[in-house]
Structures are given as structure tokens and as C-alpha cells.
């Protein structure tokens, strides 16, 4: 009972954070709302018994990625967002579209997916199990993903480096 | 509540200890007027901070300006909840561990909570709307994110040897001795390099000299807390010292054998001794913190970043690979 109440509470905070993320006009408030979303998602994982995933969610998303977001916002000193004609159109079409989409997805999930209810905490994910899955059963996908991330990092470095230093590196081989 | 009270008292007296020791290092007395040896100085400071006028500069972004010191302090205090301070004890028929909660991912929780502590500093720097604060906040967040990686990697060696994230299991894995007199602490089990990486990265994480670039007085006035006064200012410092104590606790648990030490005497003494051994380690670690502060100069910012990324990180990875190799060979 307490589990269900907490689960709903974290769900509500998560949705509220997501809505606030869209409503807020200052980028730093939006970024902080996203931190709240990440944190409450970690709470949901914790309640479902996936402690390791919850901790990683906090460390990686809330503790590292969002810090970099905020770092960039601070560095650029981004100002308040301005409303334009386009944003009004997006509001008019976007909100009803979102509502219809959410209802459709919920309807499909509840009525037609054929999945059953799972008790809270019924699928535990201790670190050892996750490690075994990652480095044994799914080793190849894991390694392919890491190569993909490496390529992304290299791409970011090339894009971010000043043109002169890239040419210099090319000349030097 | 009791743990929180102990922690906050420890925070207050760490400040006192620091002022005393740095005073002696610089050939002066430190606080002497309030109470014997200046022992009541932390109380007087606390009262002063509470009764001081709380100025809010006119151009700050108010919600975040007020929230930032609170965030700092909350995350600093929250991480103490999973730290065990001793073994199981039986008090009035109740068998209980000396720990608030024993979760099996304790170490990850501490890493997660301390990684959130960056927000307090970064937001304080940004919301103050002052160039010194902003520079201090930027420096602090860049530094903390960079050194967190080396810190995390240095801990993985210990985790591999213990095979668990639970702080209690890690300490239990270090019980016993080699040849009857060398204790089986992780630092004597080949993790000495990891210990020094942890030590260095921890100094940087808590923004202490020689890595206190975020609050370098000579260039940035006071860094991210330039615009703060009274209790809000004190909250940043309470957070900093609470973080120091957490770091000291973690170092004793992970590398120095936690509460293991010689046990003797009657039953009551045997119950208290582990806590004493643990407190002793934490005290020594804090003393080294202060000692380093009193003796080392500050880095330059590019040196700091180069040291973290080009030296500490490769060293931590090498240590991790070698440890993993040895553990794999043994099993």
C-alpha cells in the first residue's frame, strides 16, 4: 500500500516536472525541472526493486549529464526565451496532439498489449545479475554500443575544435 | 537524528580544529578567548551567524539564490545515512548495526548524492548574478565533474576485491591479519595507489587547498559564495566540512579497514572500541586534510585540469586493470 502510494507520488512528481520543463521560459529552470524528472524516475526504479539502475540513473543523468547542461547554460548565460508567432502555433496544435497521443498510447497499453500486472519489486535487479547480462549474455551489443559512443565523442571533438587545429592534425597525419 | 547531531557537532569542531592547527602551523595560537582552549568558539560562531543580518543583493535570481545553500547542505548531510560507524551491537536486548540504513548499494548512493552536491555550488554561482560568483561556480562544477571520474575509478579496485557495493561487506572483507601483525586493510592489499588517487580526488571534490580554485581569494574574492551572508554563507561551509567528514569516513571504510582494531577488556569496552578505532581513523584523515591546507600552495587552473585528466585518470584506469587482472588470476 505504501509502495503504491510512493510510486504514484513519484509518478506525479515526474509528470509535474516534465510539464514544468515545457512551461518554464528560462533555460535554467527547464534544466532543473529535467533534474527533478530524472530524480523521480530513479525513485520509481528504486520502488520497482532495481536499486542498481536507480543509483546509476542518479549518478549518470542527474549527477553528470544535467550538470553539463547547466554548465553550458551558465557559460553561454542564455536569457529568457521569447514567444514568437511560431511558438503560438506550436502551442495550439501541440497540446491537443499531445493529449490525443497520450490517450492512444495509454489505451493501447491497457487494453491491447496483452501484458499482465506485475507486483511492485517482483523483478529485482542486483548488480551481479546486471553485470552478468551486460558482460556475458549481451557482450557483443554492449561492445558495439561502446564503439558507437566513441565515434560520437570523436565527432564532437572534431566539430568543437577550431578549424585551424583540425587542419594541423590532418597535415601531421 | 542522533547521527545528524553527531555529524553537525563534528562539523563545528572540525572548523575549530582547523583554526587551531593552521594557527599552530603559522606560529600563532588560533581561537583562545571563548572557553578553555577556545573550545566554545564554534558555539559563538553559530550564534553569530544566526543573529547576523541576512543580506540579499538586489540583482540575484531569488528562488535559486535561496535554494542553492540548502541544496548544498541537504546533499552533504544525506550521504551520512548509509555510512556504518561500527559493528553490530546489542543495546538493551536489541541487536542492531551502528548505521542508519544498511543498503546493498551503499557506496553507489554516496557517489550519487555527492555528485548532486555540484548543483548547490553551480546554482549559487549563477544565481548571484556577479562575475566572481559565476567564475567560481563554473570552476567548481568543471573541477568536481572532472575529478569525480578519477574518484569513482579509484574505488572500483576496492569493489572488485570485496565483490560488493555494501560498505559493511567491504569492511568485513578487510578483517584479519597477514603473518599475525600486518592488518588486511585494502591499503596493504595492493590498493595503495588507489588510496592516493582517492585522497587527491577527494581534496578536489571538496574544493580544499591545494584544489580550492573555485574560491581562490586572491583572484575571485570568495568564488561562488561571494554574495552570500549570515546563515546562508554558513550553510556552504557546513556543507564543505560535512563533505570532508564523509570523505574521511569513506577513506577509513574502504582503504583503512573501517572499525577493525585490537579488542580487549570487559564487554562494554569491547563494544565501544570499534567505534573508537573508526573515529581515530577519521580524525587522522581530517588532520591530514588540515595539515595539507596549512602547508601547500594553490594550483593554477590549467595545471589542475591537466593533472586530473592527464595523470590521475590514466593512473586510476591502470590501477583498475591491474587489480582486475590479479583478482581474475586468483579466482
Question: Does B103 contact A63 at a Cβ distance shorter than 8 Å?
Answer: no
Helix (H, G, I), strand (E, B) or coil at A162: coil
- The segments of chain B whose pLDDT lies below 70 read 1-3, 86-103, 176-182, 187, 213-214, 216-219, 221, 261, 265, 267
Which pLDDT does position A150 carry in this prediction?
94
pLDDT at A167 over 70: no
Q: How far apart are CA B124 and CA B132, in angstroms?
A: 11
Residue A168 is predicted with a pLDDT of 65
- Among residues of chain A, what percentage have pLDDT more than 70? 85
Considering CB atoms only, which of A28, A63, A126 is closest to B116?
A63
Residue A71 to residue B116, Cβ atoms within 8 A: no
Above 80 in pLDDT, residue A114? no
Number of domains in chain A: 2
Question: Is residue A33 assigned to a domain?
Answer: yes
With a CB-CB cutoff of 8 Å, which residues 52-81 of chain A face chain B? 52, 55-56, 58-59, 62-64, 67-68, 70-71, 73-75, 77
pLDDT for position A152 = 93
CA dist B199 → B11, B94, B121, B146, B248 (Å): 19, 37, 21, 15, 9
B138 min Cα distance to partner chain A (Å): 7
Residue ranges making up the domain that contains A40: 1-82+119-126
CATH label of the domain that carries residue A44:
1.20.120.1200
Averaged pLDDT of chain A: 81
Distance from CA of B127 to the nearest CA of A (A): 10
Chain B residue at shortest CA distance from A73: B126
Task: Tell me which chain A residues have a C-beta less than 8 angstroms from the C-beta of B67.
Answer: none
Distance (Å) from the alpha carbon of A163 to chain B's nearest alpha carbon: 22
What is the number of helices (H) and of strands (E) in chain A? 8, 0
For residue A105, tell me if it sits in a domain. Answer: no
Residues of A in contact with B150 (CB under 8 A): none
**Is A157 in CB contact (< 8 Å) with chain B?**
no
Distance from CA of B76 to the nearest CA of A (A): 14
Cut 0.90: pTM above it = no
Determine the pLDDT at residue B217.
66
- Select the more confidently predicted residue: A44 or A79: A44
Please report residues of A whose CB lies closer than 8 A to that of B108. 52, 55-56, 59
Structural domain contains residue A98: no
The cell numbers describing B242, all together, are 560535512
Query: Would you call B126 and A58 a contact, using CB atoms and an 8 Å cutoff?
Result: no
Residue of B nearest to A64 (CA): B145
Residue A133 lies in a domain: no
How much is the pLDDT for B91? 63
pLDDT of residue B29: 75
Q: Do A74 and B165 touch (CB under 8 A)?
A: no
Contact residues, chain B, for A62 at CB < 8 Å: 112, 115-116
Contact: A62, B112; criterion CB under 8 Å: yes
Q: How far is A37 from chain B (nearest CA, A)?
A: 14
The pLDDT of residue A15 is above 60: yes
Kindly tell me if the per-residue pLDDT of A173 is higher than 60: no
Question: Shortest CB distance from B122 goes to which of A58, A62, A67?
Answer: A67
Q: Which residues of B129-140 are buried (b: 16+ CB within 10 A; e: fewer)?
A: ebebbbbbbbbb
At which residue does the C-alpha cell 581515530 appear?
A: B280
Residues on chain B touching A67 (C-beta within 8 angstroms): 115, 118-119, 122, 141, 145
Query: Quick check: is A51 in a domain?
Result: yes
Q: Is residue A102 part of a domain?
A: no
* Cβ-Cβ contacts under 8 Å, B137 against chain A: 74
Contacts of B167 in chain A (CB under 8 A): none
Amino acid at each position: 500500500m505504501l509502495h503504491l502510494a510512493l510510486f504514484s507520488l513519484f509518478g506525479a512528481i515526474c509528470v509535474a516536472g516534465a510539464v514544468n520543463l515545457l512551461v518554464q521560459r528560462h533555460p535554467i529552470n527547464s534544466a532543473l525541472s529535467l533534474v527533478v524528472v530524472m530524480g523521480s524516475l530513479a525513485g520509481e526504479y528504486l520502488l520497482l526493486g532495481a536499486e542498481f539502475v536507480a543509483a546509476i540513473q542518479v549518478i549518470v543523468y542527474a549527477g553528470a549529464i544535467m550538470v553539463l547542461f547547466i554548465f553550458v547554460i551558465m557559460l553561454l548565460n542564455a536569457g529568457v526565451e521569447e514567444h514568437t508567432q511560431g511558438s503560438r502555433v506550436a502551442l495550439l496544435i501541440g497540446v491537443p496532439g499531445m493529449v490525443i497521443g497520450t490517450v492512444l498510447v495509454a489505451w493501447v497499453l491497457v487494453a491491447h498489449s496483452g501484458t499482465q500486472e506485475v507486483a511492485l519489486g517482483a523483478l529485482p535487479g542486483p548488480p551481479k545479475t546486471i553485470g552478468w547480462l551486460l558482460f556475458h549474455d549481451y557482450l557483443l551489443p554492449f561492445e558495439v554500443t561502446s564503439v558507437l559512443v566513441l565515434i560520437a565523442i570523436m565527432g564532437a571533438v572534431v566539430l568543437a575544435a577550431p578549424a585551424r587545429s583540425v587542419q594541423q592534425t590532418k597535415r601531421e597525419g | 537524528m542522533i547521527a545528524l547531531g553527531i555529524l553537525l557537532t563534528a562539523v563545528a569542531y572540525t572548523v575549530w580544529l582547523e583554526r587551531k592547527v593552521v594557527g599552530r602551523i603559522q606560529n600563532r595560537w588560533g581561537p583562545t578567548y571563548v572557553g578553555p582552549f577556545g573550545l566554545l568558539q564554534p558555539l559563538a560562531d553559530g550564534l553569530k551567524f544566526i543573529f547576523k543580518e541576512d543580506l540579499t543583493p538586489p540583482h540575484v535570481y531569488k528562488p535559486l539564490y535561496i535554494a542553492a545553500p540548502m541544496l548544498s547542505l541537504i546533499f552533504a548531510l544525506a550521504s551520512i545515512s548509509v555510512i556504518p560507524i561500527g559493528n553490530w551491537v546489542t543495546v538493551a536486548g536489541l541487536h542492531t548495526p551502528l548505521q542508519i540504513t544498511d543498503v546493498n548499494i551503499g557506496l553507489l548512493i554516496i557517489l550519487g548524492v555527492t555528485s548532486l552536491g555540484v548543483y548547490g555550488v553551480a546554482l549559487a554561482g549563477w544565481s548571484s548574478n556577479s562575475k566572481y560568483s559565476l567564475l567560481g561556480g563554473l570552476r567548481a562544477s568543471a573541477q568536481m565533474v572532472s575529478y569525480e571520474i578519477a574518484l569513482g575509478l579509484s574505488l572500483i579496485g576496492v569493489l572488485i576485491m570485496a565483490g560488493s557495493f555494501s560498505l559493511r561487506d567491504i569492511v568485513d572483507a578487510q578483517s584479519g591479519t597477514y603473518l599475525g601483525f600486518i592488518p588486511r586493510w585494502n591499503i596493504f592489499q595492493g590498493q595503495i595507489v588507489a588510496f592516493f588517487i582517492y585522497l587527491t580526488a577527494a581534496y578536489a571534490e571538496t574544493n580544499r587547498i591545494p584544489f580550492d580554485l573555485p574560491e581562490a581569494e586572491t583572484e575571485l574574492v570568495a568564488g561562488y559564495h561571494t554574495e552570500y551572508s549570515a546563515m546562508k554563507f554558513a550553510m556552504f561551509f557546513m556543507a564543505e566540512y560535512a563533505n570532508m567528514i564523509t570523505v574521511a569516513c569513506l577513506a577509513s571504510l574502504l582503504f583503512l579497514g573501517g572499525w577493525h582494531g585490537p579488542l580487549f577488556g570487559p564487554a562494554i569496552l569491547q563494544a565501544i572500541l570499534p567505534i573508537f578505532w573508526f573515529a581515530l581513523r577519521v580524525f587522522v584523515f581530517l588532520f591530514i586534510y588540515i595539515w595539507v591546507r596549512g602547508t601547500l600552495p594553490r594550483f593554477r587552473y590549467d595545471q589542475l585540469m591537466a593533472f586530473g585528466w592527464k595523470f590521475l585518470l590514466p593512473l586510476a584506469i591502470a590501477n583498475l586493470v591491474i587489480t582486475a587482472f590479479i583478482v581474475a588470476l586468483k579466482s
